[in-house]
Amino acid sequence: MVYQWKRHYFSIDAQVVGETFEEIQSRDGGITPNSVVEEARPDNSEIHNCFDWDNKAAGEKWREHQASNMLRLLIVLNPSDESEKEDKVIRAFVNIKTPEEERVYIKTIDALNNDYYRDQVLMQALAELSAFQNKYKELKELSSIFFEIEQLKLLK
C-alpha cells in the first residue's frame, strides 16, 4: 500500500508511518492512539521524532489542546426572533483569522455580524461539507445531499 499525507504536517515520510501502523494492526489487531505512542516511545522507533517527549512542553501543549476543546464545545442559547418558535443552540465561539493573520476565537454572533469573518465561517463550513462529501462519496444514499453541497459551492 502506498501512503501519503493529506496535508503536509509531519516531516516524516507517510510511507514509513503507514507501514508502522500496519505493523501495529497486525500485531495488536487494531490501532489506538495509545498503541501509536507506545510504538513511538523507544528512541530508535521510526516515528519517535513525531512526538514531543519533553514532558513540560508536552504538558503545556496538552493544556492548550484542552482549552481549544473548551472553546470548540461551548454553546449558547441564541434567542429566536418572532418568526421562530424555539430558541437556537449555537456554538459560542468560532476560530477566525484576523486581518493581521492571527488565528483567534471570537463569539460566533460577532463573527456572523461581520462580513470579513462571516465569509471565513462560510468557507470553513463549505470545506467541512466537502470533507464530508469526500469521506462518504461511495454512499449513493447521500447523493441528493451531495447535489445540494455542490449547489452551495457554486454560490460562493
Q: What is the mean pLDDT of the chain?
A: 89
| Sheet strands (E) in the chain | 75-78, 88-91, 93-97, 103-107
**Global pTM?**
0.66
pLDDT at 80: 59
Residues of the chain with pLDDT under 70: 79-84, 156
- Boundaries of every domain in the chain: 14-50, 55-155
Q: Per-residue pLDDT tens for 16-46? A: 999 999 999 999 999 999 999 999 999 999 9
pLDDT at 63: 92
pLDDT at 37: 95
For residues 33 and 156, give the distance between their C-alpha atoms in angstroms, rounded to a whole number. 37
pLDDT at 76: 85
Residue from 42, 38, 46 nearest 16 by CA: 46
